[in-house]
């Protein structure tokens, strides 16, 4: 067998192994009930949950626990998913800005339930409405 054919087979095998390993780490979008059901069925993969931070009657965000003096790498908050289920979420990798988190329209958390019933997020993604609003152009008539 020619060396070029052998080299091509090795490159193809490496490419296939990279594709298979990255596909195994893909997570899915679920709500809290589905995430809990996955844990109970023995599936401990990370999932994406989309929701909104809980607010009081005045529309102010409530339930965010963050003290950078005590522990800058810990944040806890309550999130309401699309099925209106409210769950406390803890994260040991807080977002870059707590103010942006509080202004965010939707929050996507990537993580999983623990056997104790806590949802631990590894990553927090935010959709801030200010980034997507149209800006008024000065001088337009």
- Rounded to the nearest integer, the mean pLDDT of the chain is 82
Q: Where are the domains of the chain?
A: 27-131
> How much is the pLDDT for 88?
93
> How much is the pLDDT for 20?
67
For the question of whether the overall pTM of this predicted structure is more than 0.85, the answer is no
d(CA 102, CA 98): 6
d(CA 11, CA 20): 14
d(CA 98, CA 86): 20
62: number of Cβ within 10 Å: 12
> How much is the pLDDT for 111?
93
Tell me how far the alpha carbon of residue 121 is from its chain's centroid: 7
Average pLDDT along the chain, 141 residues, taken 10 residues at a time: 79 79 66 88 86 88 88 92 92 82 86 90 80 54 52
d(CA 46, CA 125): 14
Decide if 89 contacts 108 (C-beta within 8 A).
no
> How much is the pLDDT for 75?
92
Give 108's strand partners: 50, 125
CATH for 27-131 is: 2.40.50.140
């Amino acid at each position: 067998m020619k060396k070029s054919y052998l080299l091509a087979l090795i490159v193809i095998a490496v490419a296939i192994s990279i594709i298979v390993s990255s596909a195994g780490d893909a997570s899915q979008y679920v709500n809290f009930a589905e995430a809990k059901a996955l844990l109970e069925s023995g599936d401990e993969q990370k999932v994406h949950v989309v929701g909104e931070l809980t607010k009081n009657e005045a529309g102010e965000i409530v339930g965010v626990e963050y003290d950078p003096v005590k522990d800058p790498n810990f944040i806890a908050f309550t999130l309401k998913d699309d099925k209106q289920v409210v769950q406390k979420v803890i994260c040991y990798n807080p977002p870059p800005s707590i103010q942006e988190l509080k202004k965010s329209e939707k929050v996507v958390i990537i993580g999983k339930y623990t056997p104790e019933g806590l949802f631990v997020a590894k990553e927090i993604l935010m959709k801030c409405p200010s980034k997507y609003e149209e800006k008024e152009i000065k001088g337009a008539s």
